[in-house]
Amino acid sequence: MAEVTTATLLAAYRLGAFPMAPDATSDQLHWYMPEQRGIMPLARTPVQRAKPFPARLMRTVRSGRFEVTSNTNFAQVVRACGPSHTQRASDTWISPRIEKLYTALHHQGHAHSLEVWSPLQGGGQRLVGGLYGVALGGAFFGESMFSTERDASKVALVHLVAALNQAGYLLLDTQYVTPHLASLGGVAISRPHYEALLAKALAHEGPAWPAQVGLVALGAALKDLGA
């Protein structure tokens, strides 16, 4: 088994490749460079969104029903994106090896998470959604998201787009476009088109990762999205 380090991962992202494990129990990694690449267009991406975020979702964002934070519990988000007690190991590609590599990337300052919290009766809050990915230059490579409460992962995505827009990112890579992502505005572009956007984003001076991603910090950027 070839050794894969965090440096290997970063080099692969710069080439437009990303890894997945065959299933949650495998120690192998497979590398992918899809002919049709999924992106979520940002304000500075020269690609039109398929559609705006749904009005009902934006009302949920405005309501303050959830609190959204940045990098407060990366490990728990990655773990929650992996297999749960209701899933088979073959239903997810996040293996212990994947978890270890991306946690190391997080400690190096390259991988980031957004957490979505729901208040508990009597005080406190619980993690009900989130996402994580890798930032390089002006590009963010979304890896996975999860939700245990309705709309929680969608709220995370809205806040991610707003935060990346506000910080000046050029590219939000979603790897593929699932029907779920398409319903939220994701589009598929050709590999040559993606590689051109990636090259431009990587040449962009890396914006600082946003430390605050709540309603107040992202007020104007969220309003631009319809919130």
pLDDT in tens, 159-184: 999 999 999 999 999 999 999 999 99
The two structure tokens encoding residue 66: 């959830």
Separation of alpha carbons 39 and 193, rounded Å: 11
How many domains does the chain contain in total?
1
- Specify the pairing of strand 36-39 against strand 187-190: antiparallel
- Range 119-143 average pLDDT: 95
pLDDT (0 to 100) of residue 90: 46
Q: Name the residue range of residue 147's domain.
A: 6-224
Distance CA 67, CA 109 (A): 23
Residue 155 lies in a domain: yes
Look up residue 111 and give its two tokens. Answer: 């991988």
**Residue 22 pLDDT level (bands cut at 50, 70, 90):** confident
Is position 1 within any domain? no
Is 80 a domain residue?
A: yes
Opening angle at CA 194, ends 35 and 81, nearest 5: 75
Token couple for 74: 């990366």
User: What span, in angstroms and rounded, lies between the C-alpha atoms of 153 and 151?
Assistant: 6
163 and 218 Cβ atoms separated by less than 8 Å: yes
- Does the residue 88 lie in any domain? yes
Residue 28 and residue 20: Cα distance in Å, rounded?
Answer: 8
Percent of the chain with pLDDT over 70: 94
The CATH number of the domain holding residue 48 is 3.40.630.70
Residue 220 domain-assigned (yes or no)? yes
Q: Do β-strands 18-20 and 171-175 pair in parallel, antiparallel, or remain unpaired?
A: unpaired
As beta bridge partners, residue 190 has: 36
Average pLDDT, the chain: 92
pTM for the model stands at: 0.93
| Residue 68 belongs to some domain of the structure | yes
